[in-house]
Amino acid sequence: MISLSGIAAAALGGTAPVLHGVDLELAAGEQVAVIGASGAGKTTLLNLLALMQEPLAGRFALEGREPWVLTRSERRLLRTGIALAPQHPPLPPRQRVAVAVLAARLPRMSFGRALRTLWSPPDAPLAHAALEKLDLPDKLWLRVDRLSGGERQRVGLARLLVSDTRLWLADEPLAALDPARAERSLAALQKGAREAGAALVCSLHQVDLALARFPRVVALSAGRVVYDGAPAGLGGELLDELYRSQLAPMADAAPPAQPLPLPQAMCR
Ligand SMILES: Nc1ncnc2c1ncn2[C@@H]1O[C@H](COP(=O)(O)OP(=O)(O)OP(=O)(O)O)[C@@H](O)[C@H]1O
């Protein structure tokens, strides 16, 4: 479905390369977790896959076509087959949740149906079913600005569920969720992708979930792919390297010599 070879890419809005020599093959319907420390390039990779950023170098093919040699309108058409849930979904604050969810389908709708969807969505049951899978069925007609951060994030995931696309990209979709909700939401997302026959690429800081729930893990370090394969092959040493090597030791990490005095009220 997707083939990247020797890709260098800048972050959205940047010019200097933050991805270097990335090779990646993604088959239709495949599910892949992307892990790596903060700043490793996970968002940049997802934006690249979403055709939001042109690579600086290398070869990018999507379903046998090279998006960046197509005309702008051909590329826009190709993009309608891809859905991206950014870490902070840009949802208009006064919009109803139903409309915000169904907005994921707008690029593939006729002009008339798109207008109706924005005014009084005929596909509201579809949005309701998606929200139900993410434990949010009672929020359908609420305004987006009445949602908590975790609820907004799940609305972003509901957009993937209704998107009718073949490639789902989720950028840290669990960042604002408590552990139980995170697990349930990820399970709903993966099941939805399987049922829709869509490939799922998901960047995650929850390494335990990435290893437990995905058949394939891609690890990035400083913009390079340092591991691509089954979770079982990803050893503890490499994981330590991924998350520790970029951290300078804390200057004041030594514990205090004396225990800190607690207020009397906290000692009973
Ligand atoms: N607009 C920008 N201009 C220049 N550099 C940028 C820009 N946005 C991000 N970067 C840099 O690109 C690198 C990769 O950022 P990216 O957001 O892809 O990392 P990430 O792995 O998703 O991080 P996180 O886990 O913190 O979200 C980082 O070093 C970041 O500082």
**Ligand 1 midpoint to CA 220 (Å):** 12
Beta bridge partners of 199: 167
Q: Is 5 helix (H, G, I), strand (E, B) or coil?
A: strand
ipTM: 0.97
Q: Which residue has the higher pLDDT, 64 or 249?
A: 64
Structural domains in the chain, sorted by start: 29-55+76-242 (3.40.50.300)
Beta-bridge mates of residue 3: 25, 61
Please name the residues in contact with 76: beta carbons below 8 A apart, sequence gap of 6 or more. none
Q: Which of 34, 42, 218 to mutate to test the pocket of ligand 1 (most atoms within 8 A of CB)?
A: 42
pLDDT band at 254 (very low <50, low <70, confident <90, very high): low
The residue contributing the CA closest to ligand 1 atom 16 is 41
Taking a C-beta distance cutoff of 8 angstroms, is the pair 229, 32 a contact?
no
What is the distance between the alpha carbons of residues 119 and 125, in angstroms, rounded to a whole number?
A: 15
- Indicate if the pLDDT at residue 23 is higher than 50: yes
Q: Which residues contact 128 (CB under 8 A, 6 or more apart)?
A: 98, 137, 140
Q: What is residue 255's DSSP assignment? A: P
pLDDT for 245 equals 60
CA-closest residue to ligand 1 atom 5? 14
Q: Could you tell me the pLDDT band of residue 20, with boundaries at 50, 70 and 90?
A: very high
Residue whose CA is at the smallest distance from ligand 1 atom 18: 41
